[in-house]
Amino acid sequence: MNNQLSSWTDGAVKSTILDFVARVTDEGGPDFVPPAERIATFDNDGTLWCEQPLQVQFFFGRERLRIAAEKDPTLKEQQPFKAFFDHDMETIRNLGKEGLMEVAAFAHAGMTEDAFAKIARDWLAVARHPTLGCLFKELTYLPQMELLDFLQTHEFKIFIVTGGGIDLIRTLAAEVYGIPPERVVGSSVRTRFEIREGRGQLVKLAVINTFDDRQVKPQNIGLHIGRRPILAFGNSDGDLAMLRYVQTGPGPRLALLLHHDDAAREFAYDREFELSPLAEALDKADDYGLTVVSMKRDWRSVFADRLALAEAIAASKR
């Protein structure tokens, strides 16, 4: 079998995935699912790429705040912005993911979608992880890239369902995963349509439209996709509602939960990561029918450029 998840360790989890895909694509079989219904939803941060020490949105938002402060230096003295300038991680973590999203919404208010797209593209082209040194876009997990490929080869439609800002992740997804913008569902701000200098523009407002986490994930799947996926992959309690929504549907189902238990090659964390804890989903995985993927046990490689990153990760912990 060529290119069948070669970065996945042979074992129960890999067999479960291969068996599931074989069953739903077996045209004569009892579990056959027509291609149009082969919807798979993936969380992004911590599922498709590294989210430590914080999700990429944080670093993007901080950069935007830095630029905003060039025009209005008083931002540096106002909370919650002050915390970003002071690297006051405790205050930042206490904001929670939704609080971070509000800061991001503030930082982009008044910007057109065209301007935002350019800024996001330019930033992702050069932005580097603060401790690992590599570009953020190099932090994707090799086994997951293989899985996306494998599913697409078998006519699955992949959607990313992320707590991250929808427009930032769309920029990333198109370039890094080859997933088009309309297949990214995420947190969003409200926009206003206006004609500026003869051109119709969507202008971002400082108002959260949706914070795409926990029960909002299945709600947004309903709104954007309009069909219950048959496969989902997440890594935190923020994904649990989506995983259960997928797992409890009729017919064949696969709900996968990535456990970051690999301190040597990546990071080991679950319930103590306040911004995106993994506790209930892990504790009740059996009850809920979730397949737990152990990074340590089930992945032969973690990153594509694994030697360089392994060294950087080791160095970052010294």
The binding site for a copy of itself (CB under 8 A) comprises 36, 113, 157, 159, 166-167, 170, 180-184, 188, 190-193, 195, 198-200, 202, 209, 215, 218-219, 222-227, 241, 244-249
Rounded Cα gap, residues 100 and 97, in angstroms: 5
What the block records as the tokens of 215 is: 């029960």
SS3 content of the chain, % helix, strand, coil (to 5): 45, 20, 30
Residue 112 bridge partners (DSSP): 203
By beta-carbon proximity to a copy of itself, the closer residue of 88 and 149 is: 149
**β-pairing verdict for 254-261 and 231-234:** parallel
Instruction: Report the nearest approach of a copy of itself to the CB of residue 224 (Å).
Output: 6
- Shortest Å, Cβ 174 to a copy of itself: 8
In a 13 Å sphere around the CA of 241, the CA atoms on its Cβ side amount to 15
Q: Please report how close the Cβ of residue 194 comes to a copy of itself at its closest, in angstroms.
A: 8
Half-sphere exposure (Cβ direction) of 228: Cα atoms closer than 13 Å: 16
Nearer to a copy of itself, 76 or 224 (CB): 224
Classify residue 156 by its DSSP letter: P
What is the C-alpha separation between 111 and 109, in angstroms, rounded? 6
Q: Cα separation of 106 and 132, whole Å?
A: 28
Residue in the block written with tokens 């010294």: 318
Q: What is the nearest approach in angstroms of a copy of itself to the Cβ of residue 14?
A: 26
Q: Report CA 43 to chain centroid distance, whole Å.
A: 4
**Could you tell me how far CA 164 lies from the centroid of its own chain?**
7
Q: Is the Cβ of residue 9 or residue 201 nearer to a copy of itself in the bound state?
A: 201
Of the pair 96, 249, the CB lying nearest a copy of itself is at 249
Q: Which is nearer to a copy of itself, 45 or 167 (CB)?
A: 167
Indicate the residue among 147 and 168 with the shorter CB distance to a copy of itself. Answer: 168
CA dihedral 118, 122, 128, 130 (to 10 degrees): -50
Q: In whole angstroms, how close is the CB of 248 to a copy of itself at the nearest point?
A: 4
The nearest distance, CB 33 to a copy of itself, in angstroms, is 14
Phi then psi for residue 226, to 5 deg, are 75, 20
Nearest approach in angstroms of CB 93 to a copy of itself is 27
Please say which residue, 75 or 232, places its beta carbon nearer to a copy of itself: 232
Is residue 191 within 8 A of residue 202, CB to CB? The reply is: yes
Q: 201 or 301: whose CB is closer to a copy of itself?
A: 201
Nearer to a copy of itself, 64 or 253 (CB): 253
> Least CB distance from residue 116 to a copy of itself, whole Å?
10
φ, ψ of residue 161 to 5 degrees: the values are -125, 100
- Tracing tokens 């947190």 back to the chain, one arrives at 187
Give least dist CB 24 to a copy of itself, A: 17
